[in-house]
Copies of this chain bind each other. A is one copy, B any other.
Amino acid sequence: MSKYAIGIDFGTGSGRVVVIDVKTGEIAGSHVTEYKHGVISSTLAYSDKELKRDTALQHPQDYLDVLEQSIPQSLTNAKVNSADVIGIGLDFTACTILPVNESLEPLCFDPKWQVEPNAWVKLWKHHAAQEQANRINTLAKERKEEWIQRYGGIISSEWMLPKVLEIMEDSPDVYDETTYFIEAADWLTSLMTGTLKRNSCAAGFKGVWNEKDGYVSKEFLKALHPSLENIYDSKLAGEVVSIGEKAGNLVAQFAEKIGLQAGTPVAMGMIDAHAGVPGAGVTSPHKMVLVMGTSTCHMLLSDKERLVEGISGVVKDGIIPNYYAYEAGQAAVGDIFAWFTKESVPAYVNENAQKQGKSIHQYLEELAQNLEPGSNGLLALDWHNGCRTPLVNSDLSGVITGLNLSTKPEEVYRALIEATAFGTKMIIDTFQQQDINIEELVACGGLPQRNKLFMQIYADVTNMPIKVSNSDITPAIGSAMYGAVVAGSKNGGYDTISEAAKQMVPSGGTKYYPNEENVKQYRVLYKEYKKLVEYFGKGKNDVMKLLKNF
């Protein structure tokens, strides 16, 4: 009899459930439920009041709908009986939080609070707490707080603490009424299992928690705001549990709603991108996972804990048990090309692409493929949205040098790809300088699958093989893998995530190898890239900051 694990991936606009055969890795069935309320950023359904700028809310019922609709539906599609489901795992966007009462019921379900924006889910991309984030960063810097070094010296407005502070300052009554502020991932696993637990992945990467030191100190919290002093004993209380551990077993009441058997083991939830790491087959050190989309997120496992310059976070057990999980990032990658094709590609390129039945990207990629590295003298800096790792400086901006009267759009296109590859190479170097070795790259996301030139240039610039995952749903797979792990081998699952990976990760996927000639050329160009980084990025010429604030 085949056994199955369920993986549930909650994205920004929908949730996906997959049912995977634990032994063969076959995806027996899957189902997607779109969020009925989507992203709420202008007005709530219960009030005409305009939401403030940078607001991004969601409706928690949408998440429950995913469970209630897509789990039964995907089992039906898979022709799998709920008795053969041995475990469940889930992942969620983060930091996506909501205020709940003692019974873990969302405040916004209460008619009393439903007109109040701060009572709703604040989606990861809710950016209205920037002012609060700034204050936290300034205070941490002033107080020379050690913990902020784990986050490259800066935390984002997207994270737990700024969002909670925003609620407290904007809506003290909502704040007072709240029993817990909780990550949506943890809310769901807690509901499923009847016990409040917080996952180490979101706590570590978005909640300034650390396995040795715990959360930030009461002194810091008090200095930030007197009412916050004891927040980790109250509204943010709850045991932090490592990824790979069991959240609990499915409680009967909830099991019925979602068409599963009571007692089914539920894995701790985790962040969606991070679940993609085991989903792409990476469960041990030396392989860097690049999740490439509008920006790139770099994830890496290591048995060493090091202070790496400008990383987004380092969390013990944050992705794979027993390893330090590192996250780094480039602030814009796909976004640069979206901007370029929108604002800088001439009409004749559009026309030629159309004539050949190609997208602008395909067309430019083909032309750029025939060019040499550093074609027509161009060299760019990929800081169009600032630099995350290693410089952590949002005042930086993009540069193109080498323009001349014969410069063609496909040459600029290639130079921009090269620049983002140099940016990744610089992140790799930053890790390697801390003795954290990287030998191979694994790329996930739509961009690596679509653009071969992109991948070849990354292989050539980094002088490393790069494997492109051929799955679009690596996070759901990773979550299902953890479902199989919390079931354990006794129940037909696995005892470790690396054993699960051997059977459950889809095989195949294109691999790109460095071209020796190009590697040599890019070695020279990368030196020049670093010179410009040194000049514009390290205080020798602050023109970017000056002009940004001009």
Interface residue ranges, A against B (CB under 8 Å): 332, 335-336, 339, 342-347, 350, 372-374, 377-379, 384-385, 397-409, 412, 521, 524-525, 528, 531-532, 535-536, 541, 543-544, 546-548, 550
Q: How far is the CA of A347 from the CA of B406 in the complex (A)?
A: 19
B399 contacts A400, C-beta separation under 8 Å: yes
B379 contacts A543, C-beta separation under 8 Å: yes
Q: How far is the CA of A336 from the CA of B403 in the complex (A)?
A: 10
B343 contacts A409, C-beta separation under 8 Å: yes
Q: How far is the CA of A546 from the CA of B527 in the complex (A)?
A: 12
Q: How far is the CA of A336 from the CA of B400 in the complex (A)?
A: 15
In the assembled complex, 26 residue pairs joining A and B whose CB atoms fall closer than 8 Å, in A order, are: A332-B405, A336-B405, A343-B409, A344-B346, A345-B347, A346-B346, A346-B347, A347-B350, A374-B550, A377-B547, A379-B543, A379-B547, A384-B405, A397-B401, A398-B402, A398-B403, A398-B404, A399-B399, A400-B400, A401-B544, A401-B547, A402-B543, A402-B548, A525-B547, A531-B543, A535-B541
Chain B residues whose C-beta falls within 8 Å of the C-beta of A535 in the assembled complex: 535, 541
Q: How far is the CA of A543 from the CA of B521 in the complex (A)?
A: 14
Query: Which of these, B342, B404, B546, contacts A384 with CB under 8 Å?
Result: B404
Chain B residues whose C-beta falls within 8 Å of the C-beta of A406 in the assembled complex: 339
Chain B CB count within 10 A is highest, among A342, A377, A546, A548, for A377
Complex copy number for this chain: 2
B378 contacts A547, C-beta separation under 8 Å: yes
Chain B CB count within 10 A is highest, among A339, A374, A403, A521, for A403
A406 and chain B: residue at smallest CB distance? B339
A536 contacts B401, C-beta separation under 8 Å: yes
Query: Closest 7 CB pairs between A and B?
Result: A398-B403, A347-B347, A377-B547, A377-B548, A397-B402, A399-B401, A528-B543
Q: How far is the CA of A339 from the CA of B405 in the complex (A)?
A: 6
Chain B residues whose C-beta falls within 8 Å of the C-beta of A347 in the assembled complex: 345-347, 350
Q: How far is the CB of A182 from chain B (nearest CB, A)?
A: 33
Chain B residues whose C-beta falls within 8 Å of the C-beta of A342 in the assembled complex: 346
A541 contacts B531, C-beta separation under 8 Å: yes
Q: How far is the CA of A403 from the CA of B343 in the complex (A)?
A: 11
Chain B residues whose C-beta falls within 8 Å of the C-beta of A541 in the assembled complex: 531-532, 535
Q: How far is the CA of A488 from the CA of B546 in the complex (A)?
A: 59
Q: How far is the CA of A332 from the CA of B403 in the complex (A)?
A: 12
Query: Which of these, B377, B409, B412, B532, contacts A550 with CB under 8 Å?
Result: B377
Q: How far is the CA of A43 from the CA of B547 in the complex (A)?
A: 52
Q: How far is the CB of A104 from chain B (nearest CB, A)?
A: 39
Other contacts beyond A335-B405, A336-B405, A377-B550: 12, CB < 8 A: A342-B346, A344-B346, A384-B403, A384-B407, A397-B401, A398-B404, A401-B544, A402-B543, A524-B550, A525-B550, A528-B547, A531-B543
Chain B residues whose C-beta falls within 8 Å of the C-beta of A409 in the assembled complex: 343-344
A347 and chain B: residue at smallest CB distance? B347
A404 contacts B408, C-beta separation under 8 Å: no
Chain B residues whose C-beta falls within 8 Å of the C-beta of A548 in the assembled complex: 377, 402
Chain B residues whose C-beta falls within 8 Å of the C-beta of A397 in the assembled complex: 377, 401-404
Q: How far is the CA of A403 from the CA of B400 in the complex (A)?
A: 8
Chain B residues whose C-beta falls within 8 Å of the C-beta of A404 in the assembled complex: 384-385, 397-398
Q: How far is the CA of A547 from the CA of B531 in the complex (A)?
A: 13
Chain B residues whose C-beta falls within 8 Å of the C-beta of A332 in the assembled complex: 405
Known: A344-B409, A400-B403. A374 touches B528 (CB 8 A): no
Q: How far is the CB of A330 from chain B (nearest CB, A)?
A: 13
Chain B residues whose C-beta falls within 8 Å of the C-beta of A531 in the assembled complex: 541, 543
Chain B residues whose C-beta falls within 8 Å of the C-beta of A407 in the assembled complex: 339, 343, 384, 398
Q: How far is the CA of A342 from the CA of B406 in the complex (A)?
A: 10
Chain B residues whose C-beta falls within 8 Å of the C-beta of A399 in the assembled complex: 399-403
Q: How far is the CA of A53 from the CA of B373 in the complex (A)?
A: 27
B346 contacts A343, C-beta separation under 8 Å: yes
Chain B residues whose C-beta falls within 8 Å of the C-beta of A343 in the assembled complex: 346, 407-409
Q: How far is the CB of A29 from chain B (nearest CB, A)?
A: 39
A541 and chain B: residue at smallest CB distance? B531
Q: How far is the CA of A350 from the CA of B345 in the complex (A)?
A: 12
B403 contacts A385, C-beta separation under 8 Å: no
Q: How far is the CA of A535 from the CA of B544 in the complex (A)?
A: 15
Q: How far is the CA of A345 from the CA of B342 in the complex (A)?
A: 10
Q: How far is the CB of A544 from chain B (nearest CB, A)?
A: 6
Q: How far is the CA of A373 from the CA of B401 in the complex (A)?
A: 21
Chain B residues whose C-beta falls within 8 Å of the C-beta of A377 in the assembled complex: 397, 544, 547-548, 550
Q: How far is the CA of A385 from the CA of B405 in the complex (A)?
A: 6
B405 contacts A547, C-beta separation under 8 Å: no
Q: How far is the CA of A384 from the CA of B532 in the complex (A)?
A: 19
Q: How far is the CB of A406 from chain B (nearest CB, A)?
A: 8
B544 contacts A521, C-beta separation under 8 Å: no
